[in-house]
Amino acid sequence: MLIRKAAVIGAGTMGCGIATHLANAGVPCLLLDIVPEGEGERSRIASDAIGRALKSRPPSFMDPSDSSLLSAGNIEDDLEELGECDWIIEAVTEDLDVKRGIYERIAPHRRAGSIISSNTSGISLGLLTEGLDDDFRSSFLVTHFFNPPRYMYLLELVRGPDTSEEIFSAVREFAEKRLGKGVVECKDTPNFIANRIGVLCMGASCVYQEETGLSIEEIDAITGPVIGRPKTATFKLHDLVGLDVALMVMKNVYDLVPEDESRELFRAPAFFQRMVDEGKLGRKSGGGFYRKEGKEILVLDLESFEYRQAKEVSFPSLDSAREAKELPAKIQALAGGEDKASAYVWKLLSETMLYSARRVPEICDDILSVDRALRWGFNWQLGPFELWDALGVRATADRLEKEGREIPALVEELLRGGNHSFYSTAGEGAKMRPTVFVPASRELEMIEDRPGVILLDDVRMRSEPLRSNPAASVLDLGDGVLCVEFHSKMNTISGETLEMIREGVDAVEQEGCAGLVIGNQASNFSVGANIKELAAAAVEKDWKAIDRMIRDFHETVLKVRYSSIPVVGVVQGLALGGGCEIPLACDAVQAAAETYIGLVELGVGLIPAGGGTREMACRAAEAVPPGYPVDSFGFLMRYFENIAMAKTSGSAAEARQLGYLRPIDGISMNRDRALLDAKTRVLAMAAHGYRPPAPRENVKVAGEAGIAELRILLSQYAGGGFISEYDEFLAGRFAYALCGGNIDGEFPVSEQYLLELELEVFLGLLGEQKTIDRITHTLKTGKPLRN
Ligand code: NAD
């Protein structure tokens, strides 16, 4: 089934976000809402929504020019156009009658067999489609997107008894491949999986505040990253979502689950209601649990209901959790202590684990879907059953029994079968596979691979790395493709990383493999070169060591480019500085759609010297094929501006416009599919008779004239107060290296010459105190210093 054009009905928060994301995926989409009362443009609601989406932060569009794929309409004048749409998504107000009213209105206009879905967060599919005709019911499903649709990975799908298999699989495949979503299938139960459990947890965390009397900042300190949850933890999340919205969501679930044994936890405590009544709604109202005053962030004291300064949080259990290295050990330390923090965390986690275990098979038949839904929809690092494993199923059950709490049947069955965890592995060596407890069979069964996805965790489980050092390893992806995976802290690039890349290339050549992928599956590909090492060497005036580091980098990028084998880089998240220069050197790049890539070295007082300056000079020169009467200086100027301003792309699509990605580089909408897409690319390149590029011996550079021109641009920036004096100096040095130094641009230069030039400028800058200040500041604060 082809999905070539879509329509979204309801241009509110979700409808507009979904339509925008369809445009991100290149799908033309009609966005309809009601006709507003009074005079004026009849499709104003939808067109205003598109206008707001163009200004939203974080941006809803990956490339704003894709907004041309959206057309605004209204539900009275434009229904006929629905006949051209392959998929109609309803995202109107959460009200059964309103939604059914829409279905009745669109039924005569939609094409038989076209897909129709609702974005409802809780209304049962059975109720939505009751009494509608056969074709409508067989074409209908729930597609529950999370807010904001561009950024949230989870998409919950729910089918009814009549939903056609063809329609369901078509949406699933389209959502995974084109929209880049992680799909979880749910049963038709109130609020599906992620919100049922996630919202319980939101409610419980407020109820337990009342019971334990811990302060807002204390609870946030013990329910964030230390237990594998996002930094927004508990109350910062409420402030972000909006307390009125959170209250409504909790109430919705409460009303829908009269039989639920934990139902009272969905009822927010008195302080929550009081905050909503007083308009303390969170960020959107200027304050909720926290309030920003000037530069200070104040916190609400729940006793006095006044804002006050936040206090340092320390508990013995929290302190030992902070010291533990791995997440399970952190959680064990925090939940297993004797203080108030421990009591709170144990209450919260044990309730989450028990509640989830009691919900299977009510909300879905398998436990993997529950864990994925919470990981993908709430950004938890561990889903509820992974939490059971982290705390130990046996130990947890014993503790619960001691407290007189009932052990869910699912857990009893697992333990009775002699198993100690919900997840395990089976088989040996290359045949080893991850397994999961299957409630129906009461056995651990093999976890099926997701189509299009290779997980490096699985690769590492099945085979030892071919080579490895503390910063990176060479893994075998099968079919003759090897992978260099970084695994240093934040994937910073050091000499060891570079060494492993070279070894990866050697391994492919020696073993007669097809080619190499350079990639990892961390949230960020790499935050850049290890500037701590660099700054230390600069302070010691160990110029030799720095010279060696840069030459190492050069040797590596040249080897990647000119080896006899195809090398494809896979990037996702941040790919900065040196972390951008590595993919720039690859024969091709496969970028996840959410890639934030850039040469940001000027921010730390340096220039790109891992081959990045030379690469951009060459790319500008090569942008115009020989013989065309067009000057390539425009390209050089654009690259210069990007790098002088330390610009990072807001998406892979934007990286193309900035020139960090080329037209030949691929984009995978789904981050989890990027690695297999890259592997496929390597195999295709090898199969088509890969030949390495010819050495760049005659690069036409801009020379003295180019430097002069770029300097004029810089003095305009400085004159306008856009850049500091030191920025101007740095950008001037960068212009010098990018243009090939003080030479006549008529004479081409070699790539090696350009590399020497970037090295020379780089070494010079490390001798500048202001550069050292920039590096030190960034290392301390994570932010650039504009001195
Ligand atoms: P919203 O209030 O922001 O938008 C609803 C839109 O529907 C409004 O623009 C309204 O004018 C329009 N509308 C109402 N009646 C209509 C009709 N008869 N014809 C055409 N348009 C009509 O709501 P929302 O937050 O975008 O939620 C939409 C749906 O998505 C709901 O079912 C909600 O439960 C679900 N949902 C919301 C979220 C979220 O975080 N907001 C997340 C997942 C799912």
Please give, one letter per residue, the 3-state secondary structure of 144-191. Answer: EECCCCCCCCEEEEEECCCCCHHHHHHHHHHHHHCCCCEEEEECCCCC
Q: What confidence category does residue 356 fall into, taking pLDDT thresholds of 50, 70 and 90?
A: very high
**pLDDT tens-digit readout, 568-578:** 999 999 999 99
pLDDT for res 786 = 87
Q: How confident is the model at residue 429 (pLDDT cuts 50, 70, 90)?
A: confident
Is residue 33 lining ligand 1, measured as CB closer than 6 Å? yes
Residues near 786 by beta carbon (within 8 Å), at least 6 away in sequence: 724, 727
Cβ–ligand 1 distance for 248 under 6 Å, the answer: no
What phi and psi values does residue 667 have, to the nearest 5 degrees? -125, 130
- Answer for the pair 613, 738: CB distance below 8 angstroms, yes or no: yes
Q: What is the mean pLDDT of residues 167-193?
A: 97
With a cut of 90, say whether residue 784 has pLDDT above it. Answer: no
Contact 407, 394 (CB under 8 A): no
Contact 157, 175 (CB under 8 A): yes
* Residue 720 DSSP code: T
Give the distance (Å) from ligand 1 centre to CA of residue 90: 8
Residue from 9, 13, 244, 255 whose mutation best tests the ligand 1 pocket (most atoms within 8 A of CB): 13
Beta-bridge partner residues of 5: none
CA–CA dist 761, 185 (Å, integer): 55
147 close to ligand 1 (CB < 6 Angstrom): yes
Cβ–ligand 1 distance for 119 under 6 Å, the answer yes
Q: For residue 84, how far is its CA from the centre of ligand 1 (angstroms)?
A: 23
d(CA 743, CA 530): 33
Question: Which atom of ligand 1 is the closest one to the Cα of 122?
Answer: 34
Mean pLDDT over 502-523 rounds to 97
Average pLDDT, the chain: 96
CB 85 within 8 A of CB 45: no
92 in contact with ligand 1, CB cutoff 6 A: yes
Q: What is the DSSP string of 328-370?
A: HHHHHHHHTSSSHHHHHHHHHHHHHHHHHHHHTTTT-S-HHHH
| Model confidence at 328: pLDDT above 90 | yes
Ligand 1 within 6 A of CB of 10: yes
β-sheet bridge partners, residue 73 = 32
Cis status of the peptide bond prior to 361, with omega within 30 of 0: yes
The number of the ligand 1 atom at minimal distance from the alpha carbon of 95 is 32
- The C-alpha atoms of residue 183 and residue 293 are separated, in whole angstroms, by 41
Sheet of 296-301: strands edge to edge?
A: 290-293, 296-301, 306-309
Beta-strand pair 70-74/29-33: parallel
pLDDT given for residue 491 in this prediction:
97
Binned at pLDDT 50, 70 and 90, residue 268 comes out as confident
pTM over 0.85: yes
pLDDT of residue 8: 98
pLDDT in tens, 358-387: 999 999 999 999 999 999 999 999 999 999
Q: CA 653, CA 690: separation in Å to the nearest integer?
A: 26
Contact 337, 409 (CB under 8 A): no
- Evaluate the CA torsion angle 185, 188, 189, 190 in order and state its sign: positive
